[in-house]
Amino acid sequence: MTKSVALLLGVHAHQPVGNFPEVLQDAHARCYGPFIRTLYRYPDFPFALHFSGWLLDYLLRHYPEDMAMLKKMVHRGQVELVGAGETEPVLAVIPNRDRIGQVVALSDKLEKKFGQRPQGAWLTERVWEATVVPALADSGIRYVTVDDYHFLCTGKEASELNGFYTTEEDGRRLDLFPISEALRYRFPFSPAHEAVKYMESLAGEGQEAAIYFDDIEKFGIWPETYEWVYEKGWLEDFILGVLASPLIRPMKFSDYHAEAHTRGVVYLPTTSYIEMNEWTLPAQAANTYADLVQEAKSKGFFDRDKAFLRGGIWKNFITRYPESNWMHKRMLQLSQRFHALPERKKSKEMLELLYQSQANDAYWHGLFGGLYLPHLRRAIYNAIVALEALLDKVAARPPVIIEDLDFDGRKEVFIHNDEIQAVARQDGSAAVCELDAYLLRHNFGDTLARQSEHYYRKMHLDQDTQHAGEGVANPHERVSFKHHITQSDLLLDDVQRMLFLDSLVDGEAVTPLRNYVLRPADDHATHVTFSCEQGNVLIDKRITVSGKRLRVSYQFNGEMQGQFQTEINLAMPSCDGPAGRFVFNDQIPGGFGQALRFEKAKKLDLQDEVLDGGISLHLNAPALIQSQPHFSVSQSEAGFEKIMQAVTLTLTWPFSSHIKELIVDVDVHRLGA
């Protein structure tokens, strides 16, 4: 009897919460739409499909005809719908109650919209920790897909990974399918006939199942793939080749799971896919890891030893990037507040905002922009700020709260009212790391410091690498440049980008003030005061919120020399686009992406049409205000690029005998208000 191999093919479709409408439209035009319409013509080709909840809602609203087609494919038994967390969170880094809630929310949606409740789940970024097993099992999930690499790390041989295994945690069972790395790198990058021939060779070797589950965006959105997959017919040729082969049986995961038996028990280590193990490490460690991998490949023992060349784990992103850690701890803070409410005070809107704040994309950075993309972080803070405002209405907080939210050993000070919130750090800087406007649902402190990245050493290449041979290039292998990058663009920040980072300037010498200490205050105060000694001078820095205004005032006790300077980094959604502008002396001198000087300024407006709001600075004494766009360099599928993270305003006052107090008022407003 001729042996055959079961092809279990699944694709995962996701767009980050808050992504630009034009990106979603392009993704549907080049990928989601043509993929569904192509597969619709071949009802004998079964496959699995996962849409994240936010993306699915968008497609149902804007492309009902394609979604109706998908529903027909589900009803005729061609498509298996796969679950996951509703907003695509990394399940391992959100509370267990939210893991269950997120998975159940998407399963309920799929059952309501398409009449099918999922048995399997997509594990975001294939981030595996055993702690997620109980939540998945309690949510009705029977199996998930992870990489074959996860299994190799247990000592399994590649030849053993031709079916599913079983694991358990806290008495809950979950079955695990190993995704083939060989197929991930072939679909759709190698010619269709070669991909089919490879699977037929697996049948000849007696393999029971060829398991593929990966991003659908590789079928049309990644560079060169739309022309390759659709215009040149890769997908159709692949389907026809599979259907014509007597050695390949395309199946749904659910059907295979129902007819096959587990191959035994397995316990996987905490890990993700191989590339992630490099991305999650700090730059120097990532380079060391990459060198070890390259050495193993060049000497021919990588395939043998790759399971033992272990890099970092996904949670390293939270330790690497203070900005990610802060978002994560703010999300945990609000999750705890929400779940502590009596049921009658909870609302559907609160829960939806909580889940949106847990979307994975803005918390990490690898081959794609992620954390480096301001609009993705803005979507997280939009949800955080909006949820906090709703929680405050039903469970009021004290006006000043002091706690070590981010676990760095130093407490932060939360000062808030119903309109705005400022969070000041007790790290010696007394700087404001978060400035929330509840009406605008925006954090003006949402910036990103420049730190070294593992891919910076690739930038000595001043030209794009080209793909050779048949097929298309895998973006993991490309080096290209979207923008011209200079050495000055790679300068690193020694502190986080915040508001009101103070310095003393004496000629060419700049002395950062990093020895502020919080002074005691009474329990009902609506402000906090920090003090620092500089020589024979005592500086008191008071931070107050009142209405829509943040006031930072400085009192100087003693004779000061030189100049006083403070740096304010503001996250403006328009960045260097045309919708952001300065207004000075009733004139528009330019936009946020320009370097500008404002002499003897006492008032400066920043207007942002994307935000439909802005900031006004009011000073009690005229200052020189210098504006500079703050860019970072990151990589994406389009190549290395510069991304504007913030508007950096530097305010400078010369000391004179009559200056004893400086006041900066930051007013938040809607445009036209």
The answer to whether the CB of 318 falls within 8 A of the CB of 331 is: no
The residue assigned the tokens 């950062």 is: 512
What are the counts of helices (DSSP H) followed by strands (DSSP E) for the chain?
Answer: 19, 26
Q: Three-state DSSP class for 569?
A: strand
The answer to whether the CB of 662 falls within 8 A of the CB of 620 is: yes
User: Pick the catalytic residue: 215, 236, 576, 665?
Assistant: 215
CA angle in degrees (0–180, nearest 5) for 423-426-427: 120
User: Of 84, 106, 80, 136, nearest to 255 (Cα)?
Assistant: 80
User: Of 517, 521, 519, nearest to 400 (Cα)?
Assistant: 521
The residue assigned the tokens 């394609």 is: 66
User: Of 571, 409, 494, nearest to 503 (Cα)?
Assistant: 494
Helix (H) or strand (E) holding 11: strand 5-13
The answer to whether the CB of 167 falls within 8 A of the CB of 268 is: yes
The residue assigned the tokens 């990974």 is: 161
* Interatomic CA distance for residues 125 and 314, integer angstroms: 9
CB contact set of 98 (below 8 Å; sequence gap of 6+): 89, 335, 354, 355, 358
The answer to whether the CB of 75 falls within 8 A of the CB of 40 is: no
The answer to whether the CB of 32 falls within 8 A of the CB of 66 is: yes
* Cβ count near 99 (within 10 Å): 24
* Count of CA atoms in the C-beta half-sphere (13 A) of 467: 14
* Interatomic CA distance for residues 295 and 297, integer angstroms: 5
Per-residue DSSP letter, 489: G
* Interatomic CA distance for residues 635 and 348, integer angstroms: 37
* Interatomic CA distance for residues 250 and 5, integer angstroms: 8
Question: DSSP labels for 127-158?
Answer: -B-GGGHHHHHHTT--EEEEEHHHHHTTT--G
* Cβ count near 449 (within 10 Å): 19
User: Of 149, 139, 232, nearest to 183 (Cα)?
Assistant: 149
Strands 412-416 and 120-122: unpaired
506 counts as catalytic: no
462 counts as catalytic: no
90, 154, 168, 271, 671 from 150: Cα distances, Å: 17, 7, 15, 7, 52
User: Pick the catalytic residue: 57, 111, 125, 576?
Assistant: 125
* Count of CA atoms in the C-beta half-sphere (13 A) of 612: 3
| Helix 348-356 / helix 322-340 crossing angle, nearest 10 deg | 160
* Interatomic CA distance for residues 44 and 171, integer angstroms: 38
The answer to whether the CB of 86 falls within 8 A of the CB of 105 is: yes
* Cβ count near 473 (within 10 Å): 18
What positions carry a catalytic annotation? Answer: 125, 215
